[in-house]
Each structure stands twice: as C-alpha cells, then as structure tokens.
C-alpha cells in the first residue's frame, strides 16, 4: 500500500493540505457508515429519518435514533486515521479538515482546524425559535425535549433539503480551490453539495487523492485512488513524509 512518490513530493512541498472526510474515516472507531451493506441506511432510510418532515411527523422516533448514535459517538475513540490526519499538522504549514461527519472525532484526535459541513451531533437547537441548546445533559435524555417557546429541540445537523452552514461552505470552497493536495477520505461522493469539493480542487490545479476501500464517482477523476482502510494508509503516508522531512 505504498503512496506514490508524486504524492510524497507534492506533500513535502505543500502549503495547504485539505482533508475532506466522510463516514468511512470513523468506521474503524466502530461508528456505522450510511451506505455500506451493514450501514445505517440499510436499517433506516434517510427519507424516514434524516429530514425535517420526519422530525415534525415523529420527533420522538428521530430523537431516539440520534440518541442511540450519539451514545456510540461519545463512547467511540478516534482511530489511527483520525490521529494521522492530526499529525499532518506537524509536517505541513497549513492543514484544514473539512468533514461531513457529526461525531466530533477529528477534534478529539487533535486536529486544530475542522470545518463541520453537516453540523454536529453534540449540539441542539429549537426548531421553532432556533435557540441553541448546548447542555451535554441533553445528549443522554431519551425523551425529546421542548423549548420554552413550545418548539421541539432537534440535533444541530444538516438534513436532506436543508442548507449547509453558510460560513462553513464559504471557507470550505475557498480552501478546496487553494489546496495543493486534497485527500478525499471515506466518503461515497454521493451527497451534494459536499461531493463537489474534490472537483473544486481538481479544477484549480490541486492534486486529489481518494482513500476509500471502494470506488466512487470521484475515483475515475482523482489523481490517485488508494483502496485501503484509512486507518492503515494514512499513518503510512504520514510516516513516510516524516522520514522524508527528517532526511531533508
């Protein structure tokens, strides 16, 4: 599973590396992905649960789904892939993680600049008056709660048909355009607009490397596809880059 010399050379000279991640990067922490055969959507369709109509129809059901996932996320530990991404910061002038994940594992692994495109499972807000509810105690309550205004309290995540946070989108698209190297790690490249980011990098001359155990719509366009688990290949890349830098 050797990374190419071209990739190592690009990294050695890189000013900005963007690491764009999806559910696959957390799979080795024991968190279910969405679209693999044993993933979340195999049991629950997104139409049923990851949209605002489902929440309005049955807030308790959607809340319980998030509480179960939150429990898995808070009990999980960052894996070797998350840690290698954080370690890149010691070798490259600027590293930014742009994640679709809501599990907070990149920050817990030590990544200093993480853009959360699809929000965070660790926060909530009122669906009616949009007041924020950041008290961690809410993350373990089995009953869906109501705000003082009477609105239901929902997770601060981006559901289908909803806009991504404008500030996150603005930074992410700018950084993808400026990236010397963009890694797309553990994402099916199926959910838009996030899936556009590697293409923004490609159009602006960035070197795009896909790390995914399977192929995706990005695979034929990427400069390299490394078909290995991220927890195995990312530490390898970081190790080789560190050796190269030490040897000057």
Which residues contribute to the site for ligand BJW (CB under 6 A)?
Answer: 22-24, 27-28, 33-36, 39, 46, 50, 100, 102, 118, 157-163, 186-188, 190-193, 211-214, 216, 229-230
Compute CA 60 distance to the chain's CA centroid, rounded to the nearest angstrom.
26
Q: Closest Cα to residue 122, out of 48, 71, 85?
A: 71
List 1, 42, 56, 129, residue binding Zn ion (CB under 5 A):
129
Question: HSE on the CB side for 52, CA within 13 Å?
Answer: 12
Residue 244: name its binding partner from ligand BJW, Zn ion, none (Cβ under 5 to 8 Å by kind).
none
Q: How many residues does the chain have?
A: 248
List 7, 88, 109, 126, residue binding Zn ion (CB under 5 A):
126
List 110, 151, 165, 235, residue binding Zn ion (CB under 5 A):
151
Q: Is 127 in the site for Zn ion (CB under 5 A)?
A: no
The first and second tokens of residue 33, run together, are: 């992905």
Bond from prior residue into 193 cis (ω within 30 degrees of 0): yes
Q: Cβ of residue 148: shortest distance to Zn ion, in angstroms? A: 6
Q: Would residue 118 show up in a list of annotated catalytic residues for this protein?
A: yes
Residue 219: name its binding partner from ligand BJW, Zn ion, none (Cβ under 5 to 8 Å by kind).
none
Q: Closest Cα to residue 188, out of 163, 156, 158, 212?
A: 212
Q: Is 147 in the site for Zn ion (CB under 5 A)?
A: yes
The first and second tokens of residue 190, run together, are: 């199926």
Question: What backbone phi and psi angles, to 5 degrees, belong to 235?
Answer: -60, -35
Residue 36: name its binding partner from ligand BJW, Zn ion, none (Cβ under 5 to 8 Å by kind).
ligand BJW
Catalytic residue among 82, 106, 118, 225: 118
**Which of these segments, 109-117, 151-159, 209-217, 230-238, binds Zn ion (CB under 5 A)?**
151-159
How does DSSP classify residue 182? E
Task: Give Rg (Cα) of the chain.
Answer: 19
User: Contact positions toward Zn ion, by CB under 5 A?
Assistant: 126, 128-129, 131, 147, 149, 151
Give the catalytic positions in this structure: 118
């Amino acid at each position: 599973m050797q990374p190419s010399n071209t990739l190592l050379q690009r990294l050695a000279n890189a000013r900005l590396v963007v690491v764009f991640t999806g559910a696959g990067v957390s799979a080795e922490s024991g968190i279910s992905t969405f679209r693999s055969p044993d993933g979340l959507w195999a049991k629950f369709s997104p139409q049923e649960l990851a949209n605002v109509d489902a929440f309005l129809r049955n807030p308790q059901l959607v809340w319980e789904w998030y509480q179960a996932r939150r429990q898995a996320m808070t009990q999980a530990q960052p894996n070797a892939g998350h840690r290698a991404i954080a370690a890149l910061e010691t070798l490259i002038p600027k590293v930014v993680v742009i994640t679709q994940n809501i599990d907070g594992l990149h920050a817990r692994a030590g990544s200093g600049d993480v853009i959360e495109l699809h929000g965070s499972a660790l926060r909530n807000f009122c669906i009616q008056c949009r007041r924020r509810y950041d008290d961690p105690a809410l993350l373990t309550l089995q009953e869906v709660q109501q705000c003082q205004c009477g609105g239901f309290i929902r997770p601060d995540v981006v559901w289908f048909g909803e806009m991504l946070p404008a500030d996150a989108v603005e930074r992410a698209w700018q950084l993808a355009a400026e990236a010397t190297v963009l890694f797309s790690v553990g994402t099916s490249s199926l959910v838009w607009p996030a899936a556009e980011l590697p293409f923004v990098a490609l159009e602006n001359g960035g070197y795009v490397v896909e790390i995914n155990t399977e192929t995706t719509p990005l695979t034929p366009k990427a400069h390299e596809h490394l078909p290995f688990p991220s927890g195995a290949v990312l530490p390898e890349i970081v190790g080789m880059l560190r050796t190269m830098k030490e040897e000057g």
